[in-house]
Amino acid sequence: MKTFFKRNKLKHFSAIIHNAESILIVPHVNPDGDAIGACLALKGVLENMGKTSYVIVPNEFPEFLQWLKGSDSVFDYERDQIEVENLFKKADTLFCLDFNDFDRGEDMKELLSNFQGERILIDHHPNPEVTCNLVISHPEISSTCELLFMVLEECGLTKFASKDEAEAIFTGMMTDTGNFSYNASSPGTYQIIGRLLEMGIDKDKVHSNVYHTFSEDRWRLIGHSLKEKMVIMPEYRSGYISLSKKELDEFKFQPGDTEGLVNYPLMVKGIVFCALFLEKDDEIKVSLRSKGNFQANKFSEKHFKGGGHMNAAGGSSELTLDETVKKFEMLLIEYKTDLLNSF
């Protein structure tokens, strides 16, 4: 049988899993549907194989993912620091899912980089910068969940995946492609969805759990952002939304409430690049999205200490919110030719 992965990688992956006894699974900070879906799917498979594993998130994850099986047993480093440090002392194997740099573990960075056991990376961000015993990095695959499923399938381990794990995988595939609206043109993606349907997933229920469970405050925040805060600059084919801490508090911001908000300016005809600026306690969180060949990740690396994918990237700024917005507007002047020529 022809395999996507090199046979020695598959052998290595199988051997690590076979030998592992105490396993930690960690996603990036502010984990999204792909990060959480991959972690919980892997945890489920390992448990169905009789292995002990723990999912540890660097910080809280959105409520719209908390219906996924295993959510209630997730450790949160911000909340459960002592327990997590103890787990790191005892574990022999660490899976790093959906990130390419230990910096993305935020406060867990030291724990991740000092871990002495087997470290495995499974990720789809370009240019991995982590030291791991096994690196499965494929930026051409649209989600870590899809990549994880491919590895499990080729190692013959999907027989340990039930409907719950299949739904976790589907969640990540769906959320990282904007419900299959971008980065979702590979036939392989739909072949996997076919497999997940055979495994019994309720696709419509997953969609509804993720996208139709907004709080009223979340909708009002979106309304406020679109009516009062969205700035469209057709002369640069760009747009942005900025939200202060005061505004976020006014709408009782919860993790996940701004998920997807960054995309709205990109839905305006002609716009190819956009940003969302969120004022947090100690920094401005920057999210960037682009269409076509404008490289949001390069822009983020260069100007906002970040990275990501070509069309979806993020970073941060230590300036004030107003200064950050000004900086962005000034940068648009510098990038005007690229923006106007983007296709």
By CB under 6 A, name the binding residues for ligand 5GP: 28, 101, 104, 262, 287, 306-309, 312-316
Nearest-approach distance from CB 220 to Mn ion, in angstroms? 28
Single-letter code of the amino acid located at 2:
K
Total interface residues for Mn ion by CB under 5 A: 4
Residue nearest to Mn ion according to CB distances in the complex: 34
Nearer to ligand 5GP, 32 or 154 (CB): 32
Nearest-approach distance from CB 35 to Mn ion, in angstroms? 6
Restricting to residues 31-60, which ones interact with Mn ion according to CB under 5 A?
34
Residue nearest to ligand 5GP according to CB distances in the complex: 314
Residue 189 interface partner, choices ligand 5GP, Mn ion, none, CB cut-off 5-8 Å depending on type: none
Examine residue 167 and tell whether it contacts Mn ion (CB under 5 A): no
Nearer to ligand 5GP, 98 or 118 (CB): 98
222: CB partners within 8 A, 6+ apart: 261
Nearer to ligand 5GP, 117 or 178 (CB): 178
The whole-angstrom separation of Cα 309 and Cα 301 is 11
Binder to Mn ion among 23, 44, 45, 98 (CB under 5 A)? Answer: 98
Nearer to Mn ion, 164 or 176 (CB): 176
What CA–CA distances, in Å, run from 167 to 41, 146, 179, 186? Answer: 8, 12, 14, 20
Residue 308 interface partner, choices Mn ion, ligand 5GP, none, CB cut-off 5-8 Å depending on type: ligand 5GP
Stretch that binds Mn ion, among 9-17, 137-145, 228-236, 278-286 (CB under 5 A): 137-145
Residue 176 interface partner, choices ligand 5GP, Mn ion, none, CB cut-off 5-8 Å depending on type: Mn ion
Examine residue 123 and tell whether it contacts Mn ion (CB under 5 A): no
Nearer to Mn ion, 48 or 263 (CB): 263
Nearest-approach distance from CB 186 to ligand 5GP, in angstroms? 18
First to last CA, the chain: 39
Between CA 124 and CA 130, with CA 127 as vertex, the angle to 5 degrees is: 90
